[in-house]
């Protein structure tokens, strides 16, 4: 069979100060297939690569389309979105006739004149291939589900783990379901339930881990093709924003409906659990500074300035608090500030100089801090590992500076902090610190949990705050929890 594979991903934060355009691909370039390309040519697009691997292993002919994965940010500039979309459609047109289409999409992609890019792409792909071709879609679990996205595809499934370590497994699941549909061996019947809530759910512990274990139990039953717990992406302001569940069975819609309602009710019951783990800035620092750090540093997640969710990554809010409290033996990874990096590079390692840090991108970034900094080390093109199969985003060129006992990484490529790689590359030993602040909401967890004595999630002011009532939503459908006090039983 002939399989067309492509990818287009952007997690859109409607409250980000950045439009998404070509520079959002500077650290993870758009892959445009060339004749003779090996798998290594597209290895930084994990979901896409996983589809190609499994399709080729099954002996199918794979036609590669373009794969793009933008650094999370604001809505994509419309003409740029349309050019990427139309490029993909033209490749599919050239590949016709095909038997299967496998797409890696995010599920929270917005363009300036399109609130549902995935629905738009799927509608056009279905129009092009016709009703008889099986279309499989893999999503990030931070997706906001729409009717066109689900109904124009044959099978849609999201990864289950947060951090997203299971894209390869999810790609295989989608692929085999779609392949079976293409062969006429199954008739996928999908039920999806939209859950009116804005929330977060970590799967590194309970009860999030238990919920996805239940989803997997259903998947082991005969006739259940896939079960997805979709968390939604609360910072994308659309009429579809919210959580959901997708269940795909073999020709048994009532059963899909029962499973979806069951899991949706369970998920709604957990809506406050992980939000309640978030601490105010002052509470997080109080707890961190009282903690016994003999077994390792306390790690505070500056989740409100997580560039992985589209924020700038240059907020100074927590750094300002650390300096005000006179905290020593602390490190912060990392603040996006290409200008400060350039100045530190010119000054050179060992220099002590006045430096203005961060707070440049917008009001959510806090104020720039004017400090006296000592340049500890400099490094070019610093790479980070991602958790599991996920690829980390590079930090770019990095300067490590010390400010009153706080070591701060300044870097040139906007990216969340996935692990201690950046600190270590710059000669900073995490185990020597009492406190490490990371700009990440959860993808840091895999690598930092190995060295931390305690992990705290901080809801400082910022562009990814969980104070949803403070966000200037315009399109969000109401009622929705926690903005409204509602009941929901899964139906
Ligand atoms: Zn995600």
Percent of the chain with pLDDT over 70: 100
In 56-144 the beta strands, taken as DSSP E runs, fall at 61-69, 100-105, 134-139
Ligand 1 mean position to 434 CA, how many Å? Answer: 29
CA gap 8, 43 in Å, rounded = 15
Three-class DSSP category at 461: coil
- Average pLDDT on 54-70 reads 98
Give the mean pLDDT of 83-112: 98
How much distance in Å is there from the Cα of 464 to the middle of ligand 1?
13
Q: What per-residue confidence (pLDDT) applies to 50?
A: 97
* Range 287-291 contact pairs with CB under 8 angstroms and sequence separation of 24 or more: 287/454, 287/456, 288/434, 288/435, 288/454, 288/456, 289/325, 289/327, 289/435, 291/453, 291/454
| Residue 464, C-beta contacts closer than 8 angstroms, at least 6 positions apart | 13, 235, 303, 304, 305, 306, 309, 310, 311, 441
Q: Are strands 243-250 and 224-230 parallel, antiparallel or unpaired?
A: antiparallel
pLDDT of residue 332: 98
Q: Please tell me the distance from the alpha carbon of residue 193 to that of residue 354, in angstroms, as a whole number.
A: 55
Which pLDDT tens digit goes with each residue over 139-194?
Answer: 999 999 999 999 999 999 999 999 899 999 999 999 999 999 999 999 999 999 99
Mean pLDDT of all residues in 392-420: 96
Ligand 1 center to 242 CA (angstroms): 14
What DSSP element (H or E) covers 400?
strand 396-403
CB atoms within 10 A of CB 286: 13
Per-residue b or e along 397-436, where b marks 16 or more CB atoms closer than 10 Å to that residue's CB:
bbbbbbbeebbbbbbbbbbbbbbbbbbebbebebeebbbb
Q: Are 7 and 29 in contact (CB under 8 A)?
A: no
| Confidence at residue 386, expressed as pLDDT on a 0 to 100 scale | 85
pLDDT number for residue 391: 75
CA distance 296 to 390: 25
Tell me what pLDDT residue 209 has: 95
> Is 90 exceeded by the pLDDT of residue 201?
yes
Q: What's the gap in Å between 442 CA and the centre of ligand 1?
A: 9
User: How many whole angstroms from 338 Cα to the centroid of ligand 1?
Assistant: 26
Rounded to whole angstroms, the Cα distance separating 188 from 252 reads 8
Mean pLDDT of 420-427: 96
Question: For residue 35, how far is its CA from the centre of ligand 1 (angstroms)?
Answer: 32
CA distance 455 to 437: 10
Average pLDDT in the chain:
96
Q: Is the pLDDT of residue 303 over 80?
A: yes
Read off φ and ψ for residue 366, nearest 5 degrees: 75, -165
State the distance from the centre of ligand 1 to the C-alpha of 432, rounded, in angstroms: 31
* pLDDT of the residue at 491: 87
Question: Count H helices, E strands: the chain?
Answer: 12, 17
As beta bridge partners, residue 145 has none
Model pLDDT, residue 105:
98
CA distance 354 to 243: 46
Question: DSSP string spanning 212-276?
Answer: HHHHHHHHTSTTEEEEEEE---TTS-STT-SEEEEEEEES-HHHHHHHHHHHHHHHHHTTTTTGG
Q: Among candidates 253, 166, 264, which has minimal Cα distance to 215? A: 264
Pairing mode of beta strands 188-195, 100-105:
unpaired
Could you give the C-alpha distances from 118 to 195, 338, 431, 491, in angstroms and in order? 19, 33, 43, 24
Q: Which residue is associated with the tokens 């917008």? A: 362
Task: Calculate how far, in angstroms, residue 108's C-alpha sits from the geometric centre of ligand 1.
Answer: 9
Range 232-251 average pLDDT: 98
pLDDT at 205: 87
What is the pLDDT, as a whole number, of residue 437? 98
Q: What are the DSSP calls for 370-385, one per residue?
A: EEEEEEEEEEEEE--P
Ligand 1 centroid to Cα of residue 87, in Å, is 25
How many angstroms separate the alpha carbon of residue 413 from the centre of ligand 1?
Answer: 19
Quickly tell me which residue has 């950045």 as its tokens: 18
Q: What pLDDT is attached to residue 147?
A: 98
Tens of pLDDT, residue by residue over 252-299, are 999 999 999 999 999 999 999 999 999 999 999 999 999 999 999 999
* pLDDT beyond 90 at 390: no
CA of 104 to the centre of ligand 1 (A): 13
Q: What are the structural domain ranges in the chain?
A: 2-269, 281-458
pLDDT in the model for residue 152 = 98
Model pLDDT for residues 342-385, shown as the tens digit of each residue: 999 999 999 999 999 999 999 999 999 999 999 999 999 999 98
């Amino acid at each position: 069979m002939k399989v067309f594979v492509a990818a287009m991903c952007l997690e859109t934060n409607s409250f980000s100060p950045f439009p998404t355009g070509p520079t959002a691909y500077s650290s993870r370039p758009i892959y445009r297939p060339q004749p003779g390309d090996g798998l290594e040519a597209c290895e930084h697009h994990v979901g896409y690569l996983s589809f190609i691997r499994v399709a080729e292993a099954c002996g199918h002919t794979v036609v590669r389309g373009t794969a793009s994965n933008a650094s999370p940010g604001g809505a994509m500039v419309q003409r740029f979105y349309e050019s990427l979309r139309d490029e993909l459609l033209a490749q599919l047109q050239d590949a016709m006739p095909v038997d299967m289409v496998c797409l890696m999409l995010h599920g929270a992609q917005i363009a300036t004149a399109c609130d549902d890019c995935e629905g738009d792409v799927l509608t056009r792909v279905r129009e092009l291939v016709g009703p008889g071709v099986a279309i499989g879609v893999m999503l990030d679990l931070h997706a906001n589900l729409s009717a066109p996205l689900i109904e124009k595809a044959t099978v849609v499934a999201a990864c289950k783990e947060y951090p997203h370590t299971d894209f390869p497994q999810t790609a295989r699941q989608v692929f085999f379901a779609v392949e079976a549909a293409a062969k006429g061996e199954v008739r996928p019947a999908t039920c999806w339930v939209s859950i009116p809530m804005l929330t977060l759910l970590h799967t590194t512990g309970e009860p999030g881990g238990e919920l996805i274990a239940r989803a997997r139990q259903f998947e082991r039953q005969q006739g259940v093709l896939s079960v997805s717990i979709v968390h939604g992406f609360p910072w994308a302001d659309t009429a579809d924003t919210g959580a959901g569940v997708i269940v795909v069975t073999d020709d048994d819609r009532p059963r899909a409906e029962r499973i979806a309602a069951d899991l949706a009710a369970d998920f709604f019951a957990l809506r406050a659990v992980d939000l309640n783990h978030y601490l105010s800035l002052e509470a997080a620092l109080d707890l961190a500074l009282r903690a016994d750090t003999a077994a390792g540093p306390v790690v505070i997640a500056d989740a409100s300035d997580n560039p992985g969710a589209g924020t700038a990554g240059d907020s100074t809010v927590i750094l300002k608090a650390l300096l005000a409290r006179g905290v020593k033996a602390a490190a912060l990874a990392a603040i996006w500030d290409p200008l400060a990096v350039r100045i530190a590079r010119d000054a050179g390692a060992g220099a002590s100089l006045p430096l203005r840090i961060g707070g440049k991108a917008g009001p959510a970034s806090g104020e720039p801090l004017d400090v006296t900094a000592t340049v500890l080390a400099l490094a070019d093109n610093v790479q980070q590992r991602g958790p599991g199969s996920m690829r980390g985003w590079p930090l770019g060129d990095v300067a490590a500076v010390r400010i009153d006992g706080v070591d701060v990484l300044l870097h040139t490529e906007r990216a969340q902090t996935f692990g201690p790689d950046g600190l270590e590359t710059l000669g900073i030993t995490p185990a020597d610190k009492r406190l490490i602040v990371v700009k990440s909401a959860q993808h840091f967890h895999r690598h930092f949990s190995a060295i931390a004595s305690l992990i705290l999630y901080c809801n400082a002011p910022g562009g990814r705050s969980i104070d949803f009532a403070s966000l200037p939503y315009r399109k969000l459908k109401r009622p929705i929890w926690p903005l409204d006090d509602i009941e929901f039983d899964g139906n």
